Amino acid sequence: IAMQLDRGAPTSSKSGELINSGNIIIELNTGNVSGSTGGVGVFVAVDPYTNPILIKPGNISISGEGNRAVEIGAALYGSNDYVNSSIEIDGSNGQIVLEGKKNVGLYVQKGLSSTGANILDNVKNLNIYINGTNTPAVARETQYASVKAKDMILNDSIIQKVEFGEDSTQSSIIKTSYGNVTLDSSLANSVAPINAGTQNAVATGSYGTVIKNYMPITINPGAKAMTGIMTNGTFENYADIINNSSVYTTQWGYNYGGIGLAVTGYVANEYGLNKGNIEMNGDYATAVYSMSQSLTSENDYIKVNGKQPIAVYSGGETGNQPETNISTDRLEVNGDGGAAV
């Protein structure tokens, strides 16, 4: 750990600042993104402080494997529950650069809020450059019951700027393993034009999580085989998606196109709900891909253009009977070898 706000109690805490004015560089190779190992640039222990404490992470460069730039963690003495705190993280004095593998920009184990409305209320102005493999800008890993039940809402106040670099692969802006995530419409102001990287996604989730998206998504041709939202849990999409990402061809000749929305596995009680319009412009693209128990799409149109495009793909595993309900006014397929459903 390069810098750390240590444990404390309301009676012992003082007002103060923890500021990185230099450059923190972490190059460890641990191979573990979700455990207790790995290097951390700035570690913030969340206790119920009442005096204001300002943390400015500054410039942090992460490479290697299994490291975190900023981590919000630690459990309250005698409890793993959510606590209110007066700690504030302000990223305006620098940039987090993510390279390597399985590294994370902001790793969230505990909430950092004085209201409880959003577990990241007290975080602002993060600037994150994603340029590694399986490197989410933000990872929600809130396992404890109380904090897991609270919302995480990403907006343009929390994230000032996030950008995918040319070497970003299978990475995302947000990855949630525990709890729900909402992408506010204002987050579009902070996302640099997406025009690079391979097989990335805007948001990814595990089973038992819900991703709600209100942010319009536009993906440009410089990105290869990119997905809007991909989860093994539940998604609710309320915004339009335009995905122009180009095809990615592996060294063995397999072709992968872009995907608009995807539920990748059949898990009981998980579902997909789409209320936004989707337009795909690229070979081998799929607008909606569902292996889930239930998928519903209620929108004006789903349109796919290119070679062998698919508007809606609905599948399932042996013994499972997924249900797909398409109330779209128009399914439009333009291209050789395409399919509406």
pLDDT tens string for the chain (341 positions)? Answer: 899 988 766 666 788 999 999 999 999 887 655 445 689 999 998 877 788 899 999 999 999 999 999 999 865 554 555 567 788 999 999 999 999 999 999 999 888 888 888 999 999 999 999 999 999 999 999 877 778 888 999 999 999 999 999 999 999 999 999 889 999 999 999 999 999 999 999 999 998 899 999 999 999 999 999 999 999 999 999 999 999 999 999 999 999 999 999 988 777 788 899 999 999 999 999 999 988 778 899 999 999 999 999 999 987 665 666 688 888 899 999 989 989 98
pLDDT of residue 266: 74
pLDDT of residue 264: 86
Query: How many degrees, rounded to 5, is the angle at CA 22 between CA 192 and CA 61?
Result: 45
Query: What letter would DSSP give residue 80?
Result: -
Ramachandran area for residue 300 (φ above 0: left; ψ -120 to 50: alpha; else beta):
alpha
As to burial, measured by CB atoms within 10 angstroms (0-12 exposed, 13-18 middle, 19+ buried), residue 320 is middle
pLDDT of residue 128: 98
Strand, coil or helix: what is 151? coil
As to burial, measured by CB atoms within 10 angstroms (0-12 exposed, 13-18 middle, 19+ buried), residue 149 is exposed
**Is the separation of the CB atoms in 310 and 334 below 8 Å?**
no
CA dihedral 172, 175, 180, 181 (to 10 degrees): -30
Length of the chain: 341
Nearest-angstrom CA–CA distance, 103 and 320 = 35
pLDDT of residue 294: 83
pLDDT of residue 83: 65
Nearest-angstrom CA–CA distance, 196 and 194 = 6
pLDDT of residue 85: 79
Nearest-angstrom CA–CA distance, 114 and 122 = 7
pLDDT of residue 50: 80
**Is the separation of the CB atoms in 47 and 7 below 8 Å?**
yes
Helix, strand, coil share of the chain (percent; to 5)? 5, 45, 50
pLDDT of residue 255: 95
pTM of the predicted structure, to 2 decimals: 0.94
Q: Which residues contact 293 (CB under 8 A, 6 or more apart)?
A: 266, 267, 268, 269, 270, 271, 320, 322, 323
Query: What letter would DSSP give residue 247?
Result: P
